[in-house]
Structure 1
Amino acid sequence: MRHCAYCKKHPSVGNNVSHANNKTKRRWNPNLQEVRAEINGNVQRILVCTRCIRAGKVKKSA
């Protein structure tokens, strides 16, 4: 399952509801970006949500 490496945010599920009240399953995916980040002195590519990037939780590497 795709999730944020920091906050563990993952897709949530629910229903599309039409005007006729028909219900079909759908997913809300988090906005994940692949980022080169420094973890324990090593540079790794990780999936991180944009909220964690904006909050400064991710130490990006050049």
Structure 2
Amino acid sequence: MATKCAICGKGAVVGMQLSHSHIRTKRAWKPNLQRVKALVNGTPRRIMVCTRCLRSGRVQRAI
């Protein structure tokens, strides 16, 4: 399944998790992606979209 938003391209960001004893381990911050039925070039398709794009109205939902 895609880990990028089909509208804005937002994807996972990698960084370090830092414990109290300063042990560093790699971790990832993933965007809140939802599988929605949206109109793409006039045809309804299922795409992965982040909730920021859904909330701001960048996606035209299909019925």
Give, in whole Å, the separation in 2 of the partners of 1:10 and 1:46.
Answer: 14
Q: Normalising by structure 2, what TM-score?
A: 0.94
Instruction: Give the corresponding residue for 2:34.
Output: 33
Q: So what's the TM-score if we normalise by structure 1?
A: 0.95
- How far is 1:37 from its partner? 0.2
Q: Extract unaligned runs of 5+ from structure 1.
A: none
Residue 12 of structure 1 pairs with residue 13 of structure 2: yes
Structure 2 unaligned residues grouped into runs of 5+ = none
Aligned to 1:53: 54
Q: Report the RMSD for the aligned CA atoms in angstroms.
A: 0.9
CA distance, structure 1, for counterparts of residue 51 and residue 59 of structure 2: 10
C-alpha deviations, 1:10-60, integer Å up to 9, x for none?
000111111100000000000000000011111100000000000100000
SS class of match (2:28): strand
Identity %: 48
Number of residue pairs matched?
Answer: 62
CA distance in structure 2 between the aligned counterparts of 1:14 and 1:40, rounded to whole angstroms: 36
SS in 1 for 2:49: strand
